[in-house]
Structure 1
Amino acid sequence: MLTVPSLTALLSVFCYFMFFGAVWAFLEPLGAQYGIDGRTVGLIVSASLAAQVLGAMTATVFEARIDYRLAVATIGVVALVSSLVLASGPDLTTFWVAALVMGFILLFIVPYQIRLAITADETRTAVLLVPAAQLFGLAIGPIAASLLIDGKDFRPVPEFAAASAVASVLLLGLFVLVARGRPPRAGPGSAMSNNWSNWSGFVTAEPRLIASPADAGELGDLIRTALGPVRVVGAGHSFTPLVKSEGTILSLEKLEGLVSHDAEKHQARVRAGTRLGPLMHILQGIGQGLPNMGDIDRQAIGGALGTATHGSGPKLGAYHTQLETVQIVDGLGKLRDFKRAGDQETIHAIGVALGAFGVLTEVTLNNIATYRLRRRKWVLPITEMLREFETMMAAHRSAEFYYIPFSGYAQFIASDLSDVAPTPRPPEADEAGLRTLRRLRTALAWLPSLRGRLIRSAVAKFPAEDYVQDWLNVYASDRQTKFNEMEYHLPFEVGPKALAEIIELTEKHFPEVYFPMEVRTVAPDEFWLSPFYRRPTCSIAIHHDAANDPLPFMRAAEPIFRRYGGRPHWGKMHSLKAVELKKLYPRWDDAMAVRRDIDPQNRLVSPYMAGLFGIEPGPSGSER
């Protein structure tokens, strides 16, 4: 439901575009009234279109530097002045200037209106309606202005446009006043509420209790007595409702740090709530390293293990393949330990557990001695990348690539072991690149061909990178721009064909998508619910800005992934339920049998988990 702030923001956008629609529709008869011939007015219109492109490009440079309220208000004043100038009977030169200024500000304002809508509505509903408000204003402006025309006197048109510009600014002021009166939103687990959301904000929950047990004993007590269903959260970096519960959410944030390590075997026992970022430094300090990593280090190790999170490399497995021992608290609140020697089948069953095969408390990881990597990045045409896919992905210890929509280019990233001295890692440019891609998407929504040319030109000029660093300074990147993600794991050999179809789908039907697509490889393993179970894998991840509704894009892409035999990433968006999942996992029934033994009362089964597993959700009450 739209709120008062979001309505005032959308009305401000609507009135601004009424101003422009009114003037533009009647520019030729207005010029004729002032003695300007039709051919000259046509030339002015053409020049104004060029000014629109210039305005859009200028906005991509200054959008992050100017406060949206100042920008919208200033442009509203410029629109008012330009309209009054046109109503005053200007000479040819002044008419030219006013028209060019109007053309320039038309698209210059768009990124700021998007920011206005985002600020107005935390649910992002308003921002989805901005294009409708713009088009509606362009349509209504000429109709309303035509009702004011008296015979051959068209001066009421720019006067109406001036009034529309004033209304746009006044509505902005009303929005600012209303927004100041809004109470701050309570955060997860705050004293004001028990609201919880995942990292992107797409998955939300209002549990009766959010608790952070300090040790396994307290965790067991909560599992036995807390209001069900009981779900567990690591860092909240999944995009599916794995954590969502109306009963209890248990955070592992206090269960973190190193328990013990074995220098000779390169093993480390750590608590499940340890974030990957701190874990890297812990391991480096004891002379160990994770064999491989993804590019995000915010997850807790427990969540990364439970969802089969992974890096890239044809001979490198996901995090769960490092498991040597596992300690859980089961659905009855009892502490249970498993070792690879003697309990290998059980570890294969619970290694990818989705927080439903007991709650992970501690794990022993098989690591390797600390090491250095040489990392290189370069761009190449996507056609060449798809043609040489198998050769290039197999030629390096770790390899992946990103495809930037509408660019025609891939950025290839190769990492190989090195024993040379470290060299400086270049400054990260990913966030700056995303901002540019977003601005081009927003500002040039009406000029897709120009957008494509600009993106292709920019990507083709990406500088190559080549540096050597210790492993912990190579894998992860700082991801600030929030997004939602779908990732499917396909048989390695069909990866290029599937990606080509995803690219075609995106560029034909989803021009609003600007986030790069990520392509990786993962080695096969023996874990029963692992997406990499007994097959070499190509993983393809697609992303969409968290400010936009991801579902239309994801729903359109998923059938392509499924047609190629894809298994979804457990922590990323997908629509599969037990009937489809069972067909993808040969040891599905065996895994469910182990799960029943660990959680016989379904205490850890929420309605979402019940749909995944094809079982009944757990009781909403507690065990006394």
Structure 2
Amino acid sequence: MKQNKNGVWTSWNENITYNYKSLYKVISEKELQEVVKKSDKIRVFGNKQSSADIASGAATLIDIRSYNKIISFNDSEKTITVQSGIILGDLLETIEEKGWCIPCLPDINTITIGGALATGTHGTSGHLLSEYMIKCKIVLAEGSIKEITETDELINAVRVSLGVLGVLSEVTFKCEPIYTLHIKEGPENDTEWLPKIKERLKKHAFLRILWLPHTDKGYVITGDKIDSNKEITEDLGSEFLKHRRKASKILYKYTHVFPWFTAIANKLLYRGFFSSTKEHKGSLYLATVTKSRGSTLELAEWTIGLDIFPTVFEELKTEINKWSNKSFIHIPMDIRFVYKDKSWLSYAYKQDTVTTGCVSRNAATADTYEAFKSIEKIFLKHGGKPHWAKRFVAKDIELSKVYDKWEDFKALRRELDPTNKFLNPYLTEIFNEKTSN
């Protein structure tokens, strides 16, 4: 076990920094238990790609990335057990070699499994990644190990826990046979794609919409399962399309000074990068997951019930298209779909949901990005829920109104962590534990 003392922890986009007294890199469950047991305040981090202030802010930190072994396979059950520090991309490449897949994948593959599960990371047209976890082991506050299976009621609390119930140690995923998707992409007017959502969810195995604010356009991506040997006419578009992030960075460079220029930049970016069609095929991982985030950015994301989404969308669109407002939004806004589950802090608790992502390409000026505030206000008004790993300012009083099991989760957290070992300042405010020990 390696230990560094008295250093500075800095987030991926350099927006969050904290001093720490001890930073450990563990490689075994025994080491993980030892560090947790002896620490008064502790947080665990991976690749630091959260926009929320959840990964650090404690005297003791664990860099979980060296705790990344594949423990075992069960070929007959199609399960894989891994240590929680494994990077998602490494896990997915391993199960694809076995001819397996996890049928709903996040947009980015560089996150650790533990962080992805704890924050409710998701893809589209399926469940949260955590719903494919059928067993796990967590290190409790006093250092003991608790094993939880899918038959335990507790798993519905642990699947999305923000790392405040304990530290995820080993995780078992249930996989499915791998399949090939035929992906088609292309622009549609808002009046076309919005009314077709439910129809397309029934028709296609994969649906994702990149909405382009201030353009009245969406970029629709559908995927249908096909025989892997079926030939299609691939069209990946011009080589120029690979430069979208670079062009965005240039066009948005001064939009924190002149927010209105965002509307002009979006129209240019639509014409350059979202006005043509594409077609290709591959596994879910190969065809849909981003392999590199590239430049830093800041994100907010809100979820809302599938049935009410059109109403919320129209209200959001009306608000941001007012030239009197400052909430001009960089493109694209990522619209995805998550099916209902029973996890207490899941965005999809007992209802099918739509998730709407909001990005600022200027990470350094994200604190003054008015769009984050406007989106939060509108979604909270309609009972929306924030993504745990992304930007929001709602705290206990607001969250208690949108999460049915909020108070139950808080009670369980206090039971498992009576000294608040796993809370940092940000999470202390989230759970309104300011007066606790």
What TM-score, normalized to structure 2? Answer: 0.89
Structure 2 residue aligned with 1:297, among 97, 100, 109? Answer: 109
Alpha-carbon distance in structure 2 between the residues aligned to 1:465 and 1:242: 38
Counterpart of 2:145?
335
**1:432 and 1:503, CA in 2 relative to 1: closer, same or farther beyond 3 A?**
farther
Matched, 1:197 2:197: no
**Equivalent runs, 1:391-406 vs 2, <5 Å:** 391-406=199-214
The offset of 1:588, in angstroms, is: 2.2
The offset of 1:289, in angstroms, is: 0.9
Kept in 2: contact 1:484–1:550 (CA 8 A): no
The offset of 1:433, in angstroms, is: 1.6
Counterpart of 2:225?
417
Unaligned runs of 5+ in 2: none
Kept in 1: contact 2:328–2:371 (CA 8 A): no
Counterpart of 2:381?
563
**1:263 and 1:192, CA in 2 relative to 1: closer, same or farther beyond 3 A?**
closer
Counterpart of 1:520?
336
Kept in 1: contact 2:139–2:166 (CA 8 A): yes
Counterpart of 1:492?
306
Secondary structure in 2 matching 1:502: helix
Matched, 1:433 2:433: no
> Quick check: which one's strand share is greater?
2
The offset of 1:418, in angstroms, is: 1.5
Relative CO higher for 1 or 2, CA cutoff 8 Å, sep ≥ 6? Answer: 2
> Quick check: which one's helix share is greater?
1
The AA in structure 1 aligned to 2:34 is D
The offset of 1:448, in angstroms, is: 7.4
The offset of 1:220, in angstroms, is: 1.5
Counterpart of 2:285?
472
Secondary structure in 1 matching 2:364: coil
The offset of 1:518, in angstroms, is: 0.7
Counterpart of 1:324?
134
Secondary structure in 1 matching 2:65: coil
Alpha-carbon distance in structure 1 between the residues aligned to 2:150 and 2:261: 58
Alpha-carbon distance in structure 2 between the residues aligned to 1:301 and 1:372: 24
The AA in structure 1 aligned to 2:247 is T
Counterpart of 2:87?
275
Alpha-carbon distance in structure 2 between the residues aligned to 1:210 and 1:190: 6
Kept in 2: contact 1:438–1:514 (CA 8 A): no
Alpha-carbon distance in structure 1 between the residues aligned to 2:74 and 2:193: 42
Q: Deviations over 1:101-136 (max 9, x none)?
A: xxxxxxxxxxxxxxxxxxxxxxxxxxxxxxxxxxxx
Secondary structure in 2 matching 1:296: coil
The offset of 1:537, in angstroms, is: 0.2
Alpha-carbon distance in structure 2 between the residues aligned to 1:381 and 1:302: 39
Alpha-carbon distance in structure 1 between the residues aligned to 2:194 and 2:133: 34
**1:536 and 1:512, CA in 2 relative to 1: closer, same or farther beyond 3 A?**
closer
**1:506 and 1:454, CA in 2 relative to 1: closer, same or farther beyond 3 A?**
same
Structure 2 residue aligned with 1:553, among 354, 362, 371? Answer: 371
Runs of 4+ in 1 over 4 A off after TM superposition: 189-193, 422-425, 427-431, 441-453, 616-619
Alpha-carbon distance in structure 1 between the residues aligned to 2:416 and 2:262: 54
The AA in structure 1 aligned to 2:358 is I
Unaligned runs of 5+ in 1: 1-188, 620-624
**1:447 and 1:577, CA in 2 relative to 1: closer, same or farther beyond 3 A?**
closer
Kept in 2: contact 1:242–1:608 (CA 8 A): yes
Kept in 1: contact 2:141–2:421 (CA 8 A): yes
Aligned length: 425
Counterpart of 1:482?
296
Kept in 1: contact 2:263–2:328 (CA 8 A): no
**Is the radius of gyration larger for structure 1 or structure 2?**
1
The AA in structure 1 aligned to 2:185 is K
Kept in 1: contact 2:302–2:379 (CA 8 A): yes
The AA in structure 2 aligned to 1:276 is L
Kept in 1: contact 2:4–2:24 (CA 8 A): no
Q: Deviations over 1:345-368 (max 9, x none)?
A: 111111111011100011111110
Matched, 1:348 2:156: yes
Secondary structure in 2 matching 1:292: coil
Alpha-carbon distance in structure 2 between the residues aligned to 1:577 and 1:449: 31
**Equivalent runs, 1:526-541 vs 2, <5 Å:** 526-541=342-357
TM-align CA RMSD:
2.6
The offset of 1:483, in angstroms, is: 1.0
Alpha-carbon distance in structure 1 between the residues aligned to 2:263 and 2:160: 45
Alpha-carbon distance in structure 2 between the residues aligned to 1:233 and 1:385: 38
